[in-house]
Structure 1
């Protein structure tokens, strides 16, 4: 399997799925090392086709089958799947399509895969951005805007150096790649029927009435998941609250044991 690393030599398997089309390695600061140290895990690091460092084309609809093949190939299923943003949506899709290879889910402010309306909005937004990005002058303005937005966010957040570095990396967003990655999101959302599974869903610290908060509440109910939030947590909860992310993952693994 292309660009595959397995960290640790024993223990329960954990598969990491980053947000957007980001590379997995480095995306979850401290999580790999923390899980290998305690409780002792096999941590699977892999960029699926169409994302990160993978040189292979890939579609969102193909992700569950590809990841199921990956888990089977390394012989480490069923795995606890940790997914942030779009990675969280992929984790839910994987659990629905291949429940035999998913022991539990840790969803970090996941893309609301259970809400077709919100998913359609996300697809439209990325499609529009990709169209604008094809205009050189506008591409420069978008890039400058992203850098300024990330800079404002990092000024207002008390981040560890390694977390700040990952946050800064998000300013180099490959918009066409992201557009390809989310293509088909709304269609997949419309057919979603999540079933109960040991899970924890960590939602960002938003207003209670926010549409995405309501979607997360419904998804947690459908999965029978513990729904949590941390004061000041933003969409990148693995960066704003790395210790809490590690603790929540450890707790689910302990529960499964």
Structure 2
């Protein structure tokens, strides 16, 4: 009886500790969410689409003779990431630049809930937004996760795509989450995801934010002002963290479905990747993707890691300029590097 009594006291103490930790996490999550929203408010106009609205950041002349570049950001990011990396530089060259917060990121609505986790669904929303903005065909610049998004748009909505610039892209199939540890699978159960997303995920994410940035930039250094310029903390809000998780989990199956169609892409395409990218190795993604898309031009940057828009801005701008010139004057863009 004494043993049972002590076991009961220990269980009660552990339960109380768990409740206290979760309560503290919930409070920190609320404070961080409010502070992040106040520090990084919406920057550009919204576009109404089915199910809600998408947020944008715009730069450059509204009526540009050079054309429109649409920036699509990667995982754990928002529209400010590619805009601050390469977008404002392109605007300075005379392009009209539109960066979208993908559904569920930045200040964009998630629109279709978890159904919005696949590139094709997000591509439908982006294509609808471009149609309502009356942009005509645009050059899509998709970084990392949005390599899959840009190719999905080119496959399903070729009428809105004048050209593709795929930067350190994830677009080729890769292994699913089947081999992840058991605790990841538990965390992905909807009730557990909901609980962790509103208690512990934000404080843990906050502690890892700078470390994650350094990992993304390797072998280059993390710029001192990157986290502020890219508004990276916006991903720490619970709904965004959950959306980001679902996007990452759903990507392998989505790519397995869309990759066999890459041979039908007709948009002029350039793929820019660093040969020192440890996050998305070019040998597994950029190089086979260049072989899969007819006529694609591959630009491999020696010694460059994953964050090409920041650490190889001029090379990326040059690739965009060449592609745009080739679109304006067919035949000028060649497959030679």
Q: TM-score range by the shorter chain?
A: 0.7 to 0.9
Report the alpha carbon displacement of residue 182 of structure 1 after superposing the two structures with TM.
3.1
Deviation sequence 1:53-87 (CA, Å, 0-9, x none)? 21344412411111111111111121100011111
Larger radius of gyration: 2
Aligned length, in residue pairs: 251
Counterpart residue number, 1:187: 253
Report the alpha carbon displacement of residue 146 of structure 1 after superposing the two structures with TM.
5.0
- The structure 1 residue matched to 2:270, chosen from 177, 200, 205, is 200
Deviation sequence 1:99-147 (CA, Å, 0-9, x none)? 1111111111111x221x34x249969x938549839678756654554
Counterpart residue number, 1:218: 288
Inter-partner Cα distance in structure 2 for 1:239 and 1:80: 19
Q: Tell whether 2:211 aligns with 1:148.
A: yes
Secondary structure at the aligned position of 2:82 is classed as coil
RMSD: 3.5
29 and 123 in structure 1: CA distance in 2 versus 1, 3 angstrom threshold: farther
Inter-partner Cα distance in structure 2 for 1:71 and 1:87: 16
Counterpart residue number, 1:31: 86
Unaligned runs of 5+ in 1: none
Counterpart residue number, 1:235: 306
Inter-partner Cα distance in structure 1 for 2:281 and 2:301: 18
167 and 236 in structure 1: CA distance in 2 versus 1, 3 angstrom threshold: farther
TM-score normalised over the length of structure 1: 0.80
Report the alpha carbon displacement of residue 166 of structure 1 after superposing the two structures with TM.
4.9
Inter-partner Cα distance in structure 2 for 1:80 and 1:234: 23
- The structure 2 residue matched to 1:88, chosen from 130, 141, 147, is 147
Counterpart residue number, 2:242: 176
Counterpart residue number, 1:44: 98
Inter-partner Cα distance in structure 2 for 1:31 and 1:145: 25
Inter-partner Cα distance in structure 1 for 2:136 and 2:180: 35
- The structure 1 residue matched to 2:184, chosen from 128, 131, 156, is 128
Higher relative contact order (CA 8 A, sep 6+): 1
Counterpart residue number, 1:71: 130
Secondary structure at the aligned position of 1:43 is classed as strand
Inter-partner Cα distance in structure 2 for 1:23 and 1:123: 29
TM-score normalised over the length of structure 2: 0.63
